[in-house]
Amino acid sequence: MAAQKVPFLSPGEYLAGERQADVKHEYIAGEAYAMAGGTPEHTALSTDALRSLGNRLDAAGGRCDVYNSDVKVRVEDEGPFFYPDVTVTCGDPTFDADGCLRNPLLIVEVLSESTAAFDRGEKFFHYRRIPSLRHYVLIEQTRMLVEHYERQDNGLWTLVGEHTEPDHRLSLPALGADVPLSEVYRRVRFPAADAV
């Protein structure tokens, strides 16, 4: 049987459908994609990253807020629309009339086998078009690895950290946050390497 063609959705149709949907969808170029449920490790990593970032931002006394994956980020007026695992704003958050966040400063995505290539590729391409975004953090769930990309003053993005040990820290000095990987990965256990 031939696959059914997915009808093109305008941004307005997508947003109207999303208000009534039981399942969240991300939207790119007229197509909506249902978000699959996460693994226990995915949930632990996103929750602990959110908690650790929030605690440190609160302690720094700045005006930063941390959001979970229920907050939808709108890249441009026509989309795309995404639900990052963790989002941080500093100063006044800007939500549009559709409830979409328009000024994230930091976005965190927890990678899974099915989304890693997309999160590193096309999704990152779209995120880079958000003028306010300065940090993009990717967290692996099958091994300890946190990648930190930062927008430089010239507008180019650079990998500024590739953290692989519990005592390594995700350093965000402009936000007053310095997050140890031991907190992010505190509930995730990796299988022991096979003895040689």
Q: Nearest 5°: phi and psi at 154? A: -85, 5
9 belongs to a structural domain: no
**What CATH number does the domain containing 61 carry?**
3.90.1570.10
CA distance 91 to 105: 10
190 belongs to a structural domain: no
24 belongs to a structural domain: no
Round the average pLDDT of the chain to a whole number and report it.
92
pLDDT value for 138: 98
25 belongs to a structural domain: no
CA distance 50 to 181: 12
pLDDT band for position 174 (cuts 50, 70, 90): confident
pTM exceeds 0.85 for this model: yes
pLDDT band for position 194 (cuts 50, 70, 90): low
170 belongs to a structural domain: yes
pLDDT value for 36: 78
4: pLDDT strictly greater than 50: no
pLDDT value for 8: 87
- Domain range holding 162? 38-184
CA distance 104 to 133: 6
151 belongs to a structural domain: yes
6 belongs to a structural domain: no
Number of domains within the chain: 1
